[in-house]
Amino acid sequence: MAANKSSSDASVGLLTDVDTAQRNPVGFHVADENGNTFIYLPGVASTVAGSFLGFIATAVTTFVTTLLVTTATYAAGVGVSMSANVATDFGWVQIFGFNAVANFATATITTPLALYTSSTAGRATTTAGAATIIFGAQAVVTSVSNVGGVFLDFPSTAGNATV
């Protein structure tokens, strides 16, 4: 999981907090003591810690957040939720660094592999097929029971780009 926040900018709460009311500016970035980067976003229904989320800025301080899924062909930023932030909540989403609790559609995968959207909302897969590639994300630790480690480098999707 994440370490302590170390950003020089003030923010409220822990990286794993579920905020039932907005406590930080939406879109605000912080870093932890390990150099990992997080963005503060509104939640989306059915989110659990480790869910892959897509997010789109529709204005300077307005973001639309969704569980990442194969059937969506939008171009969006991508991150891994740090907590179970449902549609009425706010929380932190990791966008850079190592994350040990990312959710995968495949129970066990080997690494290192590229990541793609899956038909299971909020979970990534290492199977390309007709899935959209998640640029800037890779599986780096073998998963067990659908959870594994990923390295994130400000990941995104580009519509229905497949490789």
- pLDDT tens digit at each of 163 positions of the chain: 556 655 556 688 999 999 999 999 999 999 999 999 999 999 999 999 999 999 998 877 789 999 998 876 678 999 999 999 999 999 999 999 999 999 998 777 777 889 988 889 999 988 887 678 899 999 988 778 889 899 999 999 987 655 5
Q: Is there a domain that residue 54 lies in?
A: yes
Q: Is there a domain that residue 106 lies in?
A: yes
With a CB cutoff of 8 Å and minimum separation 6, the contacts of 114 are 126, 128, 133, 134, 137, 138, 139, 163
Q: Is there a domain that residue 8 lies in?
A: no
State pTM to two decimals. Answer: 0.89
Quote the CA–CA distance of 52 and 27 in Å, as a whole number. Answer: 17
Range of the domain at 76: 29-157
Q: Is there a domain that residue 3 lies in?
A: no
Q: Is there a domain that residue 13 lies in?
A: no
Cis peptide before 112 (omega within 30 of 0): yes
Q: Is there a domain that residue 58 lies in?
A: yes
Q: Is there a domain that residue 2 lies in?
A: no
State the total domains in the chain.
Answer: 1
Q: Is there a domain that residue 12 lies in?
A: no
